[in-house]
Structure 1
Amino acid sequence: MLRLLYLMTLVVCCLPLLPGLGGVLLSAVSYLPVLGLSEPSLDGWRAMQDWPGTNKAIQLTLFTGIAASFFAVLFTFLILQSCWGTRFWKRIEQWLSPLLAMPHVAFAIGFALTFAPSGWLFRFIALFTGQEQPYHWSLVQDSSGIGLILALAVKETPFLLLMSLSVLKQMQVDRLLAASQSLGYNRTAAWLKVVFPQWLPKMRFPIYAVLAYGLSVVDVAMILGPTSPTTFAVLVWQWFNDPDLSMLPRAAAGAISLFVLCFGTLLLYRLFEYVLINVWQNWQFSGSKTYSLPGRHLFKFIALLPFMMIPLLLVWSFALRWRFPEIWPTRTSTRFWEQESSHLIELATNSLILGLISATVALIFAVGCLEYRDKYHKSLPQLVIAVPMLIPQLSILFGIQVAIYMLPGQWHVPATIWAHILFAFPYVYLALDGPWKSFDQRLTQTARSLGHSPFKAWWQVKLPIVIPAILLAWAVGLSVSFAQYLPTQLLGAGRITTLTTEAVSLASGQDRRISAVYGLIQAFLPLVFFALSLAASRLADPRRRLARHDESRESVNEFVRTKPDYKI
């Protein structure tokens, strides 16, 4: 059974990528017999180069993607060096899951409603300055992409913090800090010169994922990014939606260029990391032993910003009349909820069906691969995890869609489900990898030595211990599926609509009230499943059950001790 799950995981995550690669390569050389393009040529590449805003879009993509990743890593390190091992760090661990549960699109809509020229931030500023008209400057769709950089950096910091948990525990940071401080280094200097050179290489894969996402993001860039010109990923997406199908080779050439751009940036980051850690080492052992860096209150800002979006979206969803610079709407109404209620139910149902199927299948695959690793000591190839997280979605999905168009019949539903499983699986696997490694295998070995079968030992001994991690990983898979925009749009062929696809489409419009309704529902669904998973994991915790059993036994003993001793 484990071998079958392992092979099915490899097939689902690797095999469909081959026709996807072939589809985008054939399209890039203008070989599409379905459209009457039967002779290969480089017209698509010439059309991409001749487009007036291509070079500017590439420069903007590099600037926003690299800057957002840099600030996300910087914020993560500042929070770690100031909060690790303190009481406040326990609160940070508790808030990471809700922060990760909020989809990027819902956060982007709330960010736009906060930092727009007539957003809540500028309304508060106008309250003190007496400004009567909306400001001309904002962080939404600014030409430099500053708002996009800030939003991506804030949203990706909790992910890097979560990935740092297992890394720092493996490094035994407390011992490193104690040894460094005994040599005269203060806490910040120890983090900077001792922990950072070991932490950064171990965080290479998560930083790769953040870099690749920042360079290839489409949905958040459509809401917050600049519009003239757009980022390169959005430009390629616009080319793909061109009604003239003969221009598909231009979009395919753009998709390949986006992949090369991401791959080249990752190589440059790897070179920069090697030079910083292994070549230029003077900063690690020379200079002052006393440093001071901020960061203690940085997490409060990063946590406050996403959670501030929920009440803001709620207020905007009921606002009927809200003139600038008033802080609160002068008239409220439930008209927009009533207007969209029937459509919301349909969209929420589609999102739930896709999320439940993809998260459950991804969870089964992840558990099967981890158990296969424990039994046969053969781990899953890193390529299976790296491809969905590091390669731009647009580059993969474009070729897969072209390949699907060449097949007879309708394949949009299974293709969309497969895409959701493909992109949810790496996050589910990474969420379970740490708990599986930390599990003490001697417990199941002891159960088997007492005569239990392997399955019964796993079911009665291991499962109760890892069930909290399984429920949390399942919630992570659901949130990843809820946030998928490009897979649903491209492979769904416009016939499958979800809350995310509608939210992105409406966020580009002018009615903020309807955008707030969809953003609020999209943010609410993952939070509900995270809350349910946390509640279920606490109820299923074996330590909690043992504590309840001990309390009940103690109450019985107390009753027996206090009962009068009647003599006959």
Structure 2
Amino acid sequence: MILPIFYIFLVIVCILPIAPGVLGVLSASLSYMPSIGLSTFSLDGYLSALEWSGVSHSIFLTLTSAFVSTFVSCIVAFAILQATWQQPVWKKVEPLLSPLLAMPHVAFAIGFAFLFSPTGMIARLLNPFWVFEFPVIINDAANIGLILVLIIKEVPFLLLMSIPIMQQLQVDKSERVAASLGYQRHQIWWKCIFPQWLRKARFPILAVIAYSVSVVDVSLILGSTNPPTFAVLVWQWFSDPDIQLQPRAAAGAMILLLLCLLLIGLHRFLEWGITQHCRHWQISGRVGIRLPGLSLFVSLSGIVALSLPIMMLWSASQRWRFPNLLPTQFTLRFWESEWTTLFPVIADSIIIAVISSSLALIFALLGHEYKLKYRWHIPSILIAVPMLIPQLSLLFGIQVSALYFSSDSYWLWVIWAHVFFAFPYVFLALDGPWRSFDQRLTQTGLSLGKSPLQCWIKIKLPLLLPAILYAWAVGISVSLAQYLPTQMLGAGRIMTLTTEAVALSSGFDRRITALYGLWQALLPFVFFSLALFIGRHYSRRSHLNSTTRKVMSNESINNKSQHTHS
């Protein structure tokens, strides 16, 4: 009876808030907010939002940046798989995916700006040879910088999500059969593997679409400013001090949700056309494109890797004039002067991330165990709703609901919001290991008289500990990257590295911005490295213990046989 009770608590904490989130923003968009004196339904909020100057251009920027970044990310991810999967180089690519994914979007956006701004490192390197004006891709009108950052960050996510998919597709068998018909490797991948991969990668692609449509923090750093993307515009409406204008912000959040659903519908239509309806291209001969997947992966990894030393240089520079390649003077003055302010922010970020990730991990473990024992669970699509719906479209209703319970419990609501948004990632990170676990091991333990809890602790936990630690690190990384939940549920009273980095990136001193961005980038690496080290150390020790037991058992058998013979 204990497991069903905990599962009900999981549903209350991680699933049910979706309903007040959607209903709250929907009623507010219809100007029904009795708490501020609006008690009649109307469409004034939608009219006000659509009449805003430049709103159509903002919507266009959002749709184009989301569509282009998602489309290019899918092609690049497939190109990397085409060039490296089941090849020797894949053993070098796979370990790099977690560090690339661990880099928070905000930290990478800051490093990307330091690299590609008109006075950034790339412009400094090209200055002696470049005779034209350096192109502006930071805060440009076409959102090129935003699109590039989204692509670089989304490709590792799609690759990581593709690993269990590729293991299910039995690529080696498809290659052998198609090769016997005269097809080359790149032709086999386009004709046979791509349609299957596209269909099975539907959920990760939908998550990428939802994030690209609703991204605010990265858009504030790299996106166009006049007008901004629609998500940023809606966030500005939410931040308006006039509370009577909240219906306009809620209407904007609903429009943002509709834009997300529109792109999701477009993706489903294209997927259906490619895999079901227009299949003539699959039988149109031995035609296929050999994409430079490995060079693309090296380029993306190189840009991410360069962002860290650039931020380190900026944080320790006293004077760095353009076009000098290195600062003319170095100093630790900013580290020393900012440490008294920075340390509490780091401490708060770590506390929130560890608590929220630990709770999300406990809920995920309970969810998977309940699913195995009772053969029933909440549909995965419902668990993934926080990943598939723009955060702004949920947070406003959740924020209003939280005010009815307690208006000043900011820490409680921020931690709960981080649990709410980290839980789907942690749950999905554990899905593959839980599916692959051999349940006969547990059944053997039960047949020997052990209780279910003892079997879980003695058998299942040691075998799945590396996966559990990895999921915990994923939850911490997701929590450290949360911007909107911290701002809205914390009412601006709780400062984390993400909120401070975004605030400082808008025209503040580059050296202090680099300092906050550097710390935000380092913390996920620390936790991922810690999880990897503990997991490997525990696995190695378990292997040594099992080997020692086998050796001792063999020696005991040999001694007994010798004693019997004598």
Q: Which residue of 2 aligns with 1:279?
A: 277
Query: Secondary structure of the residue that 1:87 maps to in structure 2?
Result: coil
Residues 190 and 288, structure 2, Cα contact 8 Å, conserved in 1 = no
Distance 2:43 2:260 in 1: 22
Instruction: Provide, for residues 349-380 of structure 1, a one-character-per-residue CA deviation record: whole Å limited to 9, x for no partner.
Output: 11111111110111011111111111122233
Q: Secondary structure at the match of 2:38?
A: coil
User: Which residue of 2 is the match for residue 545 of structure 1?
Assistant: 542
Q: Determine whether 1:139 maps to 2:137.
A: yes
- 1:446 corresponds in structure 2 to 444
Secondary structure of the residue aligned to 2:384 is helix
Equivalent residues in 2 for 1:448-487, closer than 5 Å: 448-487=446-485
Deviation at 1:556, TM superposition (A): 13
Alpha-carbon contact 1:186-1:291 (below 8 Å) kept: no
Q: 1:548 to 1:447 in 2, by over 3 A?
A: closer
Change (3 A) 1:557 1:435: closer
**Cα pair 1:372 1:378 within 8 Å, conserved:** yes
Match of 1:75 in 2: 76
TM-score by length of 1: 0.94
Do the aligned partners of 1:101 and 1:530 also contact (CA within 8 Å) in 2?
yes
8 Å Cα contact 2:77-2:155 kept in structure 1: yes
Count of aligned positions: 555
* Partners of 2:288 and 2:57 in 1: CA distance: 43
CA distance, structure 2, for counterparts of residue 53 and residue 459 of structure 1: 59
Structure 1 outlier segments of 4+, above 6 Å: 551-558
1:382 and 2:380 equivalent? yes
SS of residue paired to 1:320: strand
Deviations 1:486-527 (A, max 9, x none): 000001011111110000000112311111000000011110
Structure 1 vs Structure 2 CA RMSD: 2.0
User: Partners of 1:2 and 1:188 in 2: how far apart?
Assistant: 49
- CA drift of 1:383 comes to 3.5
Report the counterpart of residue 54 of structure 2 in structure 1: 53
* Paired residues for 1:173-192 under 5 Å: 173-192=171-190
Residues 309-345 of structure 1, C-alpha deviations (whole Å, 9 max, x = no match): 1111000001111110000000111111112101111
Q: Distance in 2 between matches of 1:528 and 1:281?
A: 47
Does structure 1 conserve the Cα–Cα contact (< 8 Å) formed by 2:15 and 2:383? no
Q: Distance in 2 between the 1:259 and 1:219 partners?
A: 18
- Mapped to 2, the partners of 1:527 and 1:183 lie a distance apart of 46
Pairwise CA distance, 1:296: 2.0
Q: Any conservation in 2 of the 1:69–1:211 contact (CA below 8 Å)?
A: yes
- In the alignment, which residue of structure 2 is the partner of 1:411? 409
User: What does 1:311-460 correspond to in 2, within 5 Å?
Assistant: 311-407=309-405, 409-460=407-458
On the 8 A contact 2:311/2:515 being kept in 1, the answer is yes
For the pair 1:89 / 2:122, whether they are aligned, the reply is no
Contact 2:29 2:250 in 1 (8 A): yes
Corresponding position of 2:164 = 166
Deviation at 1:11, TM superposition (A): 1.1
CA distance in 2, matches of 1:182, 1:372: 46
The aligned counterpart of 1:126 is 127
Contact 1:30 1:43 in 2 (8 A): yes
Q: Which amino acid aligns with 1:117?
A: P
Residue aligned with 1:480, SS? helix
Equivalent residue of 1:323, what SS? Answer: coil
Q: Tell me the residue number matched to 1:7.
A: 8
Look up the SS of the partner of 2:127 in the other structure: helix
1:516 is the counterpart of 2:514: yes
Q: Matches of 2:554 and 2:381 in 1, distance apart?
A: 58
SS in 1 for 2:13: helix
Q: Distance in 2 between matches of 1:196 and 1:409?
A: 50
Identical-pair percentage: 51
Residues in 2 aligned to 1:382 and 1:145: alpha-carbon distance in whole angstroms: 33
1:469 is displaced (CA, Å) by: 0.2
- CA apart distance, 1:220: 0.4
Does the C-alpha gap of structure 1 residues 557 and 330 become closer, same or farther in structure 2, counting only changes over 3 Å? farther
The letter for the 2-side match of 1:396 is L
For 1:292 and 1:66, the matched residues in 2 are separated by 23
Aligned partner letter, 1:121: I
Q: Is the 8 A contact 1:420 1:481 kept in 2?
A: yes
Change (3 A) 1:557 1:350: same
For the residues of structure 2 that align with 1:408 and 1:87, how far apart are their CA atoms? 56
Taking a change above 3 Å as real, the CA distance of residues 343 and 81 of structure 1, as seen in their structure-2 partners, is: same
Tell me which amino acid in the other structure corresponds to 1:440: D
CA spacing shift, 1:252–1:331, aligned 2, 3 Å? same
Quote the offset at 1:294 in angstroms.
1.9
* CA deviation vs aligned residue, 1:202-249 (integer Å, no higher than 9, x gap): 000000000010011000011011111110000001111112222111
Aligned amino acid, residue 108 of structure 1: A
Residue 535 (structure 1) aligns with: 533
The 1-side partners of 2:26 and 2:448 are apart by 58
User: What TM-score does the superposition give when structure 2 sets the normalisation length?
Assistant: 0.94
1:152 and 1:557 mapped to 2: Cα distance? 57
Deviation at 1:461, TM superposition (A): 1.2
Q: For 2:286 and 2:170, locate their aligned partners in 1 and report how far apart those are by CA, in whole Å.
A: 24
Q: Distance in 1 between matches of 2:64 and 2:288?
A: 33
Task: Report if the CA contact (8 A) 1:404-1:411 is conserved.
Answer: no
**Which residue of 1 is the match for residue 229 of structure 2?**
231
> Is the contact made by 1:354 and 1:481 (CA closer than 8 Å) also made in structure 2?
yes
CA–CA distance in structure 2, aligned partners of residues 71 and 491 of structure 1 = 34
CA contact 1:184–1:289 (8 Å) conserved in 2: no
Amino acid at match of 1:545: S
CA offset at residue 282 of structure 1?
0.6
- Using the TM superposition, give the Cα deviation of residue 32 of structure 1 relative to its aligned residue in structure 2, in angstroms: 2.6
Greater alpha carbon shift after TM alignment, 393-402 vs 281-290: 281-290
**Shift, 1:404, TM fit:** 2.9
Q: Which residue of structure 2 aligns with residue 562 of structure 1?
A: none
Cα deviation for residue 149 of structure 1 reads 0.7
5+ residue gaps in structure 1? 559-568
Cα distance between partner residues in 2 of 1:129 and 1:224: 24
Compared with structure 1, are the counterparts of its residues 386 and 550 closer, same or farther at alpha carbon in structure 2 (3 Å cutoff)?
Answer: closer
TM-superposed deviation, 1:21: 2.4
> What code does the residue aligned with 1:116 have?
S
CA pair 290-216 structure 1, distance change in 2 beyond 3 A: closer
Please give the alpha-carbon distance, in whole angstroms, between the structure 1 residues aligned to 2:43 and 2:460.
57
Contact 2:123 2:134 in 1 (8 A): no
SS of residue in 1 equivalent to 2:32: coil
Identify which range, 545-554 or 204-213, moves more after superposition: 545-554
Residue aligning to 2:205: 207
> CA deviation digits over 1:139-189, x for unaligned, max 9?
111110111111100101000001000011111111111211122111111
- The code of the aligned residue for 2:478 comes to V
Q: Distance in 2 between matches of 1:127 and 1:6?
A: 63
- Structure 1 range deviating more: 525-534 or 240-249: 240-249
- The 2-side partners of 1:530 and 1:325 are apart by 36
2:191–2:288 contact (8 Å) kept in structure 1 = no
The residue identity in structure 2 corresponding to 1:11 is: I
User: How far apart are residue 286 of structure 1 and its match?
Assistant: 1.4
Instruction: Give the distance between the partners of 1:535 and 1:448, measured in 2 at CA.
Output: 31
- CA shift, 1:554, in A, is 7.2
For the 8 Å contact 1:20–1:400, the answer to whether it is kept is yes
Deviations 1:248-272 (A, max 9, x none): 1111110110011101210121111
Distance 1:553 1:448 in 2: 23
Separation in structure 2 between the aligned mates of residue 295 and residue 335 of structure 1, nearest angstrom: 43
1:511-568 deviation line (CA, Å, top 9, x unaligned): 1111100000001111000000000001111x5533366479979999xxxxxxxxxx
Q: Contact 2:31 / 2:38 at 8 angstroms: preserved in 1?
A: yes
The DSSP-based 3-state class of the residue aligned with 1:127 is coil
What letter corresponds to residue 482 of structure 1 in structure 2?
A: L
